[in-house]
Structure 1
Amino acid sequence: MSSPAMADCLAKFKVLRAAGGQETGGMDNHGNPVSIVNATAMSYALCIQTCGTGPIFRAWSIFSQRFSTWLLPFLALVCQLPFGANNRVSSQVEYSGEIIHIQSWYQLDNIVSMLLHVGSPTLGAYSVILTLLNTYWIRRRFSHISYPNAHNAMRILNALQQAALKVNTEDALLASLVVLPENNLWWSELIVWLDMNYAHTWSFANVASIGWVVVAFSLTVIDVFKDVTNNSTPPLNSNGLAVAFAWLWLLPIVTSWLQTGPRSDRSSLHRAVAHANELAYMATEIGAPVPAGILFNQRAICIARRHNHVGADEHRTAPVYNYARIFCWTAAVEAVYSAFNEANLRAENCTPVNPNLVWLHDRDGKIKDENRRGSLKHVAFYVGGDPGDERRWVPGSVIFRILVSSAFALLLTWGTISGAILLQFFTPTIGLSCRSGSYLLYACVSTLVWVLLILSSFLSSVPWHTHSSRSRTSPLAGRAAVLLRRSGKILASMNSTWIVLTCLFQFTGIYDSCWCTSSHLYLGARAYSVLILTPADIAALWYPVIGATLLASGVVIAFITFINVLREPEIPSPT
């Protein structure tokens, strides 16, 4: 038993030992029956007889002290996670003369985003790694292209990872945006407007929250090592260290999002893209380019509007939903890359857009604007025509990023929470108890939520071929995607509640019952409660304490190190 609230039980047990009249129920710390005079533990039956069946609740002073020391710093750190919905009840953005309303129900996204992070650390870590791998991939993808605005295109596409990006290749919309010099302002202005967005970056509140967690965790580790050395009863602060391990995944995830600085404010993203699209120009069959708004309501690059529930998470701008945008975002990037790459190849061969003209050379090696002008037909041909469906598969790079992100997400989840499981499992009474079982359940549900949501994004994004000329998501796959997504979010909400309740159960003493302290869940009829540790038991406690500390801390350090390796990679020189 690992709580001072069990002092009365310990006192009663010592009376029984001194009296020596109890014939059964005395045990050693390995569950072997011994005389009550020499006993350091008691059977489950004797525990019930001595201490009762219910929990022994702790005093408010004990609860408040442990809550503020072990759990409150992590709950404060949850508030530093990046969200995506606006604080206003509703907002609207004007786009090509049409008012786009951002409904008030989007405000629930902030709450759901928080529940997804807490309910599934696996999903949060997966989205973090995936976002950084996307950045690394797109920088390398565009690194060899020297065509005008290619670098801006890379920055814009990377910044729009939090948006349901749509690329329209029809009617030479994308070709005109890439080729025409009149669209230089479009690319530069969108960069400016995206940089004006409220990116989730470092602040004093961020640093204070992270520092509070680091200090609280360090002091808890020191206290546990001190208790293992000095106490003859199971270390009281092992509960606090287990709580810290169960929440330690939050530290690298928050730190990683702060380093990434995702642009996730919904109305700002819509406003930035809408503003730039008012500046877009379109090539014509005869004559000079004209503003695209004169000829079309559509634009080459825009944020897609939500039409159904199948891909709903793609339209939610909180960074945790980046898992749902991996397929459509990659396909959109490939469409833009294809256009720039084709234009770049022709420019390297000194081929002007208008084949009837001669390439004009520049002393500085730059591409003159005259080489980038032509009719609608010329512009469309220059980038290779219609690259195809923007939702087409790009399997190789996507699968690699998914696998790497999955590996690190599972490593962080199970590496930190396993520290809590192992610590509580090997703290006498050894076995799967209420505490270790609660952490095990939390890790399992976290992984299950991640699996369900990944399957949902797969089903909602894969173009299932139909009899029509284009591919679309089948009705059956769409319904399955919605069911899996909703099931995953419900489980994440329940799991978030569960981990908070688990910590509160430890602080209030609900787990200080004979059934929990005797590992009855694991040992069954052989269950027993340890009350006094022997020197051998104290020496053995060093192994789970040190092992769990090294495991959880090592995984966090490895995760943060990998994040910093990925962040702002060096772009290879053009070949």
Structure 2
Amino acid sequence: MTLTARVELLLFLSLLFVSVAASDNFTQCLDTFRANGNATGGTDFFGRPVNNSQDAVALTYEECKSFCGTGQEAFDWSVFSQQFSAWLLPWLALVSQLPFGAESRIDNLISVALTVGSPTLAAFSLAITALNTRWANDRFSDIEYPNRLNAAKALIYLQQVPLRLTTRHGLLASLIVLPQNDDWWECLVDRLEQTYVWTIAAATSIVNVNSNGQGVGTLWLWLIPIIVGWLWIPVCSYEKLKAAIDKANEIAYVATTENIPQIDDSPRIERATNVTHRQGLRMYKKKKVFTQDAARAAPVFNYARIWEWYSAVEMVAQAFENADRMAKRHVPVDFRSEWVLTEEKRVTHHHDNRIGSLEQVQAYCGFPVSVQGHEEPTPIMPSGVWKRVFVASVFALGLQWSTTGSAAVIVIFTPTTGLGCRSGSYILYGIVSTMIWLTMLLSSYLAHFAKLHHDRGDPSRSRLNSAHLAENLATFLRRLSTFAAVGNTLCIILACVFQFSDFYSTCYCNSSVLGRGAQYAFNIIAPGYDYDGTRAAWIGGIVLAGGYVMLFLLALHLILELSNDIIND
């Protein structure tokens, strides 16, 4: 049995009780109304009353209930199977092409629920990742110190995981300064450059989707730029990310107080309790309740990591800038030594100029010199963060409402025109999606605020402490939004299924009572309606949604291309 047949069989069983209960036939009840010469409540195509019941092509809402009942039309399996297979199933199949890569299946399932339940959040994570890629490349573009290209690439790839930098004991400074750590950067980048690539399944699924089906195809059109966008941006699984960092850290060197770099040859895997204290860069593994989304490696969770990622990139960039500034002044790491010129006349890259003691490499990068210090520098938030968040938000909201709004408009202008059950479910889906994005973004910032206080060791004995309140609120908003995303995912799938199963074919839904009100609502039953306005709405809706999708992809492509041009100049 094929996947299509299995899904349709499951849906058939779930809708069986509907088909048994449904027995209304609107065509038959209109014939009954016309045959009754004394009946009133008939209307023309525009809801205007007609004097003769035989001229009626529609019924007012009250007359519809009286003659046709309050149930829905009988379920037709052949019609449902054809429409479901043509309009909805290809989109559900396309969901399988989303990038996952989380540590557990539960995290991957949550990522699917967040993506489908809130396309706004998914588009925001994609857009902010692209903007961050450009910013990181631009941040390192003016630096000429060795390994700056690999540093930019590594930090861009590591947007999928929460990063922790260790500046004490000369760990991070040694990675930046010591020539022995050139292999560390090469090893890290080589292993991270294992990206999610185009597959035949992905390309075929995208080509075979439809963009109509009474608004259903337009409603799901946001999936295309999300999937294509993640095919353009490097994406790795959690296992590959962890293996890349662990493997690189096995060959890391650290400066000592004797001015001799020595390898930290302790086995990383075996020393689980000590390894986090001896790595200049590592994945933050401790999962606090309020930072759980940040610890999930699926790309949709990138929104939860942007604050710490910005701080990490800025800290590394400033360290490179300090080292680059000293090198351009011909000051070696060991300031007691003479500057050594290279045969290639590249005066900043000779290995002898990059050798020094722990205190010297710390000072060279602008970090605290004290060997005994245990306090990490306060995380630095670079400028322009909120500007990038705003731009990504505009991109995300535009994609959400160009597709959802177009689907709603198409259905609203389909007779009987006006806001009804179908269009109302689309609009509700968009509203809930938007609220999920907003609360998730707020939750991530509150979690960042609480984590800063935890890392500083601020006392939190009082339950009224600001960090404690931020932690609890972040946890509550995250859980509430995740629950809402699961519900929104199920509801929008059911709404599409109901549309094809005649579940909405009732007097209430077909009369557009939601928009017109019961007094002015009517149900068009007879054929012959002039669909020129409806066709125009369909064309306009498809053009709006498709046009914005193309605009979104074009902007994303230009951002990424410009990012590559900046770093490669």
Counterpart Cα distance in 1 of 2:40 and 2:219: 38
What do residues 139-177 of structure 1 show as CA deviations (whole Å, max 9, x unaligned)? Answer: 111011111111111111111110111111112211111
* Structure 1 residues 552 and 22: CA distance shift in structure 2, 3 A: farther
Counterpart Cα distance in 2 of 1:253 and 1:30: 41
Counterpart Cα distance in 1 of 2:202 and 2:377: 38
Work out whether residues 389 and 470 of structure 1, in 8 Å CA contact, stay in contact via their aligned partners in 2.
no
What do residues 495-521 of structure 1 show as CA deviations (whole Å, max 9, x unaligned)? Answer: 000010001101111000111101122
Counterpart Cα distance in 2 of 1:467 and 1:189: 33
In the other structure, the counterpart of 1:461 is: 448
SS where residue 166 of structure 1 aligns? strand
Work out whether residues 452 and 488 of structure 1, in 8 Å CA contact, stay in contact via their aligned partners in 2.
yes
* Structure 1 residues 176 and 117: CA distance shift in structure 2, 3 A: same
Give the alignment partner of residue 520 of structure 2, picking from 526, 531, 553: 526
Counterpart Cα distance in 2 of 1:454 and 1:555: 23
Moved more, 347-356 or 5-14: 5-14
Does 2:172 match 1:178?
no
**What TM-score do the two structures reach when normalised by structure 1?**
0.87
Counterpart Cα distance in 1 of 2:123 and 2:551: 13
In the other structure, the counterpart of 2:78 is: 61
Does 2:543 match 1:550?
yes
Work out whether residues 23 and 74 of structure 2, in 8 Å CA contact, stay in contact via their aligned partners in 1.
no
- The equivalences for 1:399-478 within 5 A come to 399-462=386-449, 474-478=467-471
What do residues 6-45 of structure 1 show as CA deviations (whole Å, max 9, x unaligned)? Answer: 994224414533x360331111222222122322211112
Work out whether residues 140 and 567 of structure 2, in 8 Å CA contact, stay in contact via their aligned partners in 1.
no
In the other structure, the counterpart of 1:137 is: 135
- The equivalences for 1:507-522 within 5 A come to 507-522=500-515
SS where residue 302 of structure 1 aligns? strand
In the other structure, the counterpart of 2:336 is: 356
Counterpart Cα distance in 2 of 1:468 and 1:260: 31
Does 2:92 match 1:75?
yes
Counterpart Cα distance in 2 of 1:329 and 1:136: 14
- The equivalences for 1:99-498 within 5 A come to 106-195=104-193, 197=194, 199-213=195-209, 216-217=210-211, 220=212, 240-263=213-236, 265-293=237-265, 297-366=277-346, 367-386=349-368, 392-394=379-381, 396-462=383-449, 474-498=467-491
Where does the alignment leave 5 or more consecutive residues of structure 1 unmatched?
A: 87-105, 221-239
* Structure 1 residues 262 and 41: CA distance shift in structure 2, 3 A: same
Moved more, 350-359 or 459-468: 459-468
SS where residue 485 of structure 1 aligns? helix
Q: Kindly provide the amino acid, as one letter, of the partner of residue 25 in structure 1.
A: G
In the other structure, the counterpart of 1:29 is: 45
Q: CA deviation at 1:574?
A: 9.7
Work out whether residues 433 and 488 of structure 2, in 8 Å CA contact, stay in contact via their aligned partners in 1.
yes
* Structure 1 residues 449 and 33: CA distance shift in structure 2, 3 A: same
Q: CA deviation at 1:389?
A: 5.1
Where does the alignment leave 5 or more consecutive residues of structure 2 unmatched?
A: 1-21, 267-273, 370-374, 460-465
Counterpart Cα distance in 1 of 2:344 and 2:228: 43
**What TM-score do the two structures reach when normalised by structure 2?**
0.87
Work out whether residues 248 and 416 of structure 1, in 8 Å CA contact, stay in contact via their aligned partners in 2.
yes
Moved more, 544-553 or 403-412: 544-553
What do residues 41-77 of structure 1 show as CA deviations (whole Å, max 9, x unaligned)? Answer: 1111221233221111322111111110000100010
* Structure 1 residues 393 and 452: CA distance shift in structure 2, 3 A: farther
In the other structure, the counterpart of 2:560 is: 567
Work out whether residues 164 and 303 of structure 1, in 8 Å CA contact, stay in contact via their aligned partners in 2.
yes
In the other structure, the counterpart of 1:100 is: none
Q: Kindly provide the amino acid, as one letter, of the partner of residue 49 in structure 1.
A: S
Identity in percent: 39
Q: CA deviation at 1:464?
A: 8.2
* Structure 1 residues 506 and 257: CA distance shift in structure 2, 3 A: same
* Structure 1 residues 432 and 170: CA distance shift in structure 2, 3 A: same
Counterpart Cα distance in 1 of 2:452 and 2:239: 34
Q: Kindly provide the amino acid, as one letter, of the partner of residue 548 in structure 2.
A: V
Counterpart Cα distance in 1 of 2:91 and 2:555: 23
Q: Kindly provide the amino acid, as one letter, of the partner of residue 518 in structure 2.
A: G
What do residues 366-416 of structure 1 show as CA deviations (whole Å, max 9, x unaligned)? Answer: 311000001111111111124985673525321111001000000000000
How large is the Cα RMSD of the aligned pairs?
2.4
Q: CA deviation at 1:441?
A: 0.5
Q: CA deviation at 1:572?
A: 3.9
Q: How many residues align?
A: 524
Q: Kindly provide the amino acid, as one letter, of the partner of residue 320 in structure 2.
A: F
Q: Kindly provide the amino acid, as one letter, of the partner of residue 398 in structure 2.
A: L
Moved more, 453-462 or 35-44: 35-44
Q: Kindly provide the amino acid, as one letter, of the partner of residue 506 in structure 1.
A: Q
Counterpart Cα distance in 2 of 1:424 and 1:469: 54
* Structure 1 residues 560 and 574: CA distance shift in structure 2, 3 A: closer
Q: Kindly provide the amino acid, as one letter, of the partner of residue 414 in structure 2.
A: T
Q: CA deviation at 1:268?
A: 1.7
What do residues 52-103 of structure 1 show as CA deviations (whole Å, max 9, x unaligned)? Answer: 21111322111111110000100010000000235xxxxxxxxxxxxxxxxx
* Structure 1 residues 51 and 337: CA distance shift in structure 2, 3 A: same
Q: CA deviation at 1:310?
A: 1.4
- The equivalences for 1:495-506 within 5 A come to 495-506=488-499
